[in-house]
Amino acid sequence: MIKKKIAISVGDLNGVGIEIALKSHKEVSKLCHPIYCINKELLHQATQLLEVKLPTDFALSEVDGNFEIQAGLVDAQSGRYAYESFIHAVKLCETNEADAVVTMPIHKEAWMRAGLEFKGHTDLLRHYFNKDAIMMLGCQEMYVALFTEHIPLKEVASKIQYKKLKTFFLDLSASLPQEKIATLGLNPHAGDNGVLGDEELRITKAIKSANKAVGFEQFIGPLVPDVAFSPQVRKNYKYFVAMYHDQGLTPLKALYFDESVNISLNLPIIRTSVDHGTAFDIAYKGVANTLSYLNAIKSALSFLKN
């Protein structure tokens, strides 16, 4: 059986991404053919800092650029290189030189210092493909798709609009298996029939319309947010929709912090990522956890089979 080719975007080289890639290489190579988007000079720097030997079968697709790696430092050059590595990986998929992209973590402030307008990988993918990419995070036990992502909490309520919700639901349905999806309300007690807010009325309308379009009752809700992730409710669902970032990711990370991955849906390419940050505090100390990265590889391969 021919192994799939996975382009690995190395993320911010001042963080833990390259350490994770190196220490996981042997195991990842059993699953796929990884192609690392980094050049020899920067890779040599990283191996010297980590005091490890470079695997002989560590295949590169070289990305131009050179700077001094400085463990744990927020730096514009490192931020720019993370961006270039990611764009390079995406283009490998577009030219069929890779089957999917797996990304190591970036640092948002480093991207800002580099003059990049994007808040992260998903935001950049929306711009690059002119598609409404959906951010979904989780593991085999539970996935959470986010209706809104990296916006201030005070702006969330105004984003909950019927047409946008319906489009989101239909795009999500087309990206996932035909399973029931638990959909959270926004307000405490899911609004208590309008007593605590009217956003749930819009959510309900969008759910009913989306379910009619897909032909079955796929979206369930709006559920009361503070009980939606209880064991009694969670046992009935694998997929959840949260109205905002922390509503969905706080319970997810409390339950499955190390296992979770980030998946971009509704795009022409398959992209998965680790669900953690650059961990500057432990960069180049040899202690970074590899589980999320391994799960990201496995998730990408799983989506390639679908």
The pTM (predicted TM-score) of the whole model is 0.89
CATH assignment of the domain containing 152: 3.40.718.10
Range of the domain at 302: 1-132+270-306
Q: Is residue 263 part of a domain?
A: no
Q: Is residue 55 part of a domain?
A: yes
* Residue 195 confidence (pLDDT) above 80: no
Q: Is residue 226 part of a domain?
A: yes
Q: Is residue 98 part of a domain?
A: yes
Q: CA-based Rg of the chain, rounded to a whole angstrom? A: 20
Q: Is residue 137 part of a domain?
A: no
Q: Is residue 291 part of a domain?
A: yes
Q: What are the tens digits of pLDDT across the range 19-63?
A: 999 999 999 999 999 999 999 999 999 999 999 999 999 999 999
Report how many domains make up the chain: 2
- Cα three-residue angle 178-183-185, rounded to 5 degrees: 170
Q: Is residue 163 part of a domain?
A: yes
* Residue 77 confidence (pLDDT) above 70: yes
Question: Both 106 and 12 in a single domain?
Answer: yes
User: In which residue are the tokens 């690995």 written?
Assistant: 8
Question: Both 234 and 166 in a single domain?
Answer: yes
* Residue 306 confidence (pLDDT) above 70: no
Q: Is residue 264 part of a domain?
A: no
Mean pLDDT across the chain: 95
Question: Both 229 and 170 in a single domain?
Answer: yes
Confidence of residue 119 (pLDDT cuts 50, 70, 90): confident
